[in-house]
Structure 1
């Protein structure tokens, strides 16, 4: 049994005629008839009742049609996934990326991609705000969070885990909280950029996540500023693990509640809806994805 015969069979059923399927595939009616007969012989079952006016599926034909549709769809998706890979990699890409990821790996990754493709230029903006792709003319955006605009396409790259951390000096002076609830008695450094509130920190519960309301004397919309404040021993911070990965490794910050923090946010490549994504964007997204996955342990 040939997969292309299955696809042809699904087309015959969908179009309702051998001649229309023949025309679609630039074949003769006799070739279509022979290939359907070949399929029936391979399966040892009649698939269609043929009359001069219409085609009717047999019981076996109906069962096969459902599967044949899936084969046709999978084949089309496979074709679409590589369509455009014969195009030249040239032109311009305007993109926006988060500040942390931009400084951590994307600036280097995108510059490397440009070097690999001399006919391409990229304008990369580091911005934590979720920009309006269409209005602001962006071709690609890398973002963490949730996609609300259904007119956009988002490809998941990986998940970013958050941690609660403090310096050894802070812990020596103020003690180490053993539970999320004990954070209430500490000076917490507040990330005012968080959409769910700077003082609402998320933790794992027995059945679902819950939030603890914390307080502190210092807040900022910049996570790097909070990292520096934590390194200085000025409080406890709730930050993306990738931002403080090396600080944790060298002991300058301590992960306080490693099994209890509940905040995990997806990292996505987001672009406007299009039936055929240009090759340059396909390759850039894959290049970025591979660079993220190479340091997945940071996240």
Structure 2
């Protein structure tokens, strides 16, 4: 009979891609770990791993077994978390992945305050604009501004984030009039490369009708701050989340245009992998994040 410990060890070896690293993680010797995996292969009468001096790779049987085995460690962690929280002592480590804008705008401050409030909690805050695989990369919580498609994730809605088209007064004073989106064809439009449907296709709606225009410009970037600086240097128009240019719009350094059109609006969500028992530290952090976003709702909508 195959024991849960053997499957758990096999899963960690695969995840660490190393017998040595798996042994270190579990506090066992490399020999003990190797023997456990070999015993598992003997019981199943099939090879699970190809071993070379440089790397490990899964056989087809190994891939199939890993898909079933990898959930064992998560179930064990859920059980440990449930027991630990009986003490009402919020502790543990959280890995967060957040967009650069959100991280710089409010989440860096919020996370530091959360760590002060719960000194036994440590948080690894990753600022990145790519959509990471939470399970594969060991991420506990992510903030996403997008149309969500991954049904395996639990999503907590935070608010709606609206976008604006804007430019500096100096650029607008020297540009062609901007009364209709078709006028964008004659403008220098600086594109935000994170747009899901093509950075040079700017989408709007008016009176319930969807409209789009293909634009061109001398610059593009996957960073809203970079585009904002370019716009402040009078280079062209940008179409970015309102929160990233709110202060500049208020001060008049940037001016919103095409106000008769409805711009993009995307939901902001806190997402985390499905777990039978959500850790208390995660529940508390999500609630603090939600309140922080709501307190700044005016700069998003």
Please give the TM-score of this superposition, normalised by the length of structure 2: 0.70
Deviation string 1:61-110 (CA, Å, 9 cap, x unpaired) is: xxxxxxxxxxxxxxxxxxxxxxx697321111011000001000000001
Contact 2:206 2:260 in 1 (8 A): no
Equivalent-residue separation in structure 1 for 2:113 and 2:260 (angstroms)? 37
Give secondary structure in 1 for the equivalent of 2:252. Answer: coil
Give secondary structure in 1 for the equivalent of 2:261. Answer: coil
Equivalent-residue separation in structure 2 for 1:259 and 1:105 (angstroms)? 30
Unaligned runs of 5+ in 2: 1-84
Partner of 2:147: 146
Equivalent-residue separation in structure 1 for 2:100 and 2:248 (angstroms)? 18
**Cα displacement (A) at 1:277:** 1.0
Contact 2:143 2:268 in 1 (8 A): yes
Partner of 1:66: none
**Cα displacement (A) at 1:150:** 1.1
**Cα displacement (A) at 1:276:** 2.1
Equivalent-residue separation in structure 1 for 2:170 and 2:263 (angstroms)? 25
Equivalent-residue separation in structure 2 for 1:217 and 1:200 (angstroms)? 15
Partner of 2:258: 257
User: What is the root-mean-square deviation of aligned Cα atoms in Å?
Assistant: 1.3
Contact 1:227 1:237 in 2 (8 A): yes
Contact 2:176 2:187 in 1 (8 A): no
Contact 1:192 1:219 in 2 (8 A): yes
Partner of 2:93: 92
Partner of 2:188: 187
Give secondary structure in 2 for the equivalent of 1:252. Answer: coil
Equivalent-residue separation in structure 1 for 2:238 and 2:125 (angstroms)? 29
**Cα displacement (A) at 1:236:** 0.4
Partner of 1:286: 287
Partner of 2:18: none
Residues 95, 183 of structure 1: CA spacing in aligned structure 2 closer, same or farther, 3 A cutoff?
same
Partner of 1:202: 203
Partner of 1:121: 122
Partner of 2:216: 215
Partner of 2:175: 174
Contact 2:94 2:141 in 1 (8 A): yes
Give secondary structure in 1 for the equivalent of 2:239. Answer: strand
Contact 1:209 1:262 in 2 (8 A): no
Where do 1:1-299 residues align within 5 Å? 87-299=88-300
Deviation string 1:109-128 (CA, Å, 9 cap, x unpaired) is: 01100110011100000011
Equivalent-residue separation in structure 2 for 1:85 and 1:237 (angstroms)? 51
Residues 185, 152 of structure 1: CA spacing in aligned structure 2 closer, same or farther, 3 A cutoff?
same
Partner of 2:46: none
Unaligned runs of 5+ in 1: 1-83
**Cα displacement (A) at 1:223:** 1.3
Equivalent-residue separation in structure 1 for 2:262 and 2:183 (angstroms)? 14
Please give the TM-score of this superposition, normalised by the length of structure 1: 0.70
**Cα displacement (A) at 1:149:** 1.3
Equivalent-residue separation in structure 2 for 1:238 and 1:86 (angstroms)? 49
Equivalent-residue separation in structure 2 for 1:176 and 1:145 (angstroms)? 32
Equivalent-residue separation in structure 1 for 2:217 and 2:178 (angstroms)? 15
Equivalent-residue separation in structure 1 for 2:227 and 2:242 (angstroms)? 13
Equivalent-residue separation in structure 2 for 1:139 and 1:243 (angstroms)? 26
Give secondary structure in 1 for the equivalent of 2:208. Answer: coil
Equivalent-residue separation in structure 2 for 1:85 and 1:103 (angstroms)? 35
**Cα displacement (A) at 1:180:** 1.2
Give secondary structure in 1 for the equivalent of 2:191. Answer: strand
